[in-house]
Amino acid sequence: MPQGTLFIVSAPSGAGKTTLVRELIESLDGIQVSVSHTTRAQREGEVDGVNYHFVAVAEFEAMIARGEFFEHARVFDNFYGTARPAVEALLGAGQDVILEIDWQGARQVREQMPDAVSIFILPPSRDELERRLASRGTDEHAIIARRMRDAVSEMSHYDEYDYLVINDDFTTALRELQSLVISRRLSLERMREAHGPLLQGLLS
């Protein structure tokens, strides 16, 4: 069975990454999002193993010590991380896997998995990004300004990625993401593994 592909998807807040990725995995078979580990408390409506793997700090630190994370970070008082064993098992079973992580996490993963395909999602303009960030609620101007600064900082790393998708029209952006996944599945290496007997039969 051909090995799955690891896709890294990053974007600034407000670019529409979460909705695009959700639609992508609903529209294609054989691809799923990696579920991160966290030490933060489980919120109402969240499901362990679906939204996150919720673990105690001691267990998270033990996983770090065993070298089980592709990448991990401390955000305020909580740890978040992407566990390597679960991702490698899915890839080995021929599943494509998406990691939704920031540029720092992406850099750590690429060092360990140079074959990973990285995609950065951008908004169509700064004005539209600000509009999307402001439309999330009645946040004061200072909070929106801080979110914009964080978004610009994240976007400055776009050139570390293999592919760029601009989310202006949602349907177009989704089709572009689907095309990236499908084209990877049609690569010579994966087709050889998946259709070895056919290729032999065609040439015999």
| Spans of all domains in the chain | 6-34+96-203
The annotation status of 16 as a binding-site residue, yes or no, is yes
- Are 21 and 35 a contacting pair, CB within 8 Å? no
Q: What percent of the chain has pLDDT over 90?
A: 84
Please name every residue paired with 166 in a beta bridge, in sequence order, or none if there are none: 122
- Predicted confidence at residue 200, as pLDDT, reads 95
Query: Does the structure show a pLDDT above 70 at 34?
Result: yes
Grade residue 137 by pLDDT with cuts at 50, 70 and 90. low
Mean pLDDT, residues 117-146: 87
Q: What is the DSSP code string of 35-92?
A: PPEE-SPPPTT--BTTTBEE--HHHHHHHHHTT-EEEEEEETTEEEEEEHHHHHHHHH
The annotation status of 11 as a binding-site residue, yes or no, is yes
Question: pLDDT per residue over 161-198, tens digit each?
Answer: 999 999 999 999 999 999 999 999 999 999 999 999 99
The annotation status of 15 as a binding-site residue, yes or no, is yes
Residue with tokens 């032999």: 200
- Predicted confidence at residue 136, as pLDDT, reads 66
What residue type is 169 in one-letter code? Answer: D
CA 94-96-97 angle, 5° bins: 130
Query: Which has more confidence, 138 or 68?
Result: 68
Residue 41's contacts (CB-CB under 8 Å, 6 or more residues apart) are 54
CA distances from 23 to 43, 64, 106 (A): 24, 32, 22
- Residue 84 neighbours by CB distance under 10 Å: 19
- Predicted confidence at residue 150, as pLDDT, reads 92
The annotation status of 5 as a binding-site residue, yes or no, is no
Mean pLDDT, residues 136-158: 86
Query: Which has more confidence, 76 or 11?
Result: 11
Grade residue 139 by pLDDT with cuts at 50, 70 and 90. low
- Predicted confidence at residue 138, as pLDDT, reads 60
CATH 3.40.50.300 for domain 6-34+96-203, yes or no, is: yes
Strands (E) located in the chain: 6-10, 31-33, 37-38, 53-54, 69-75, 78-83, 96-100, 117-122, 163-166
Whole-prediction pTM: 0.90
Whole-number Å distance between alpha carbons of 103 and 94: 26
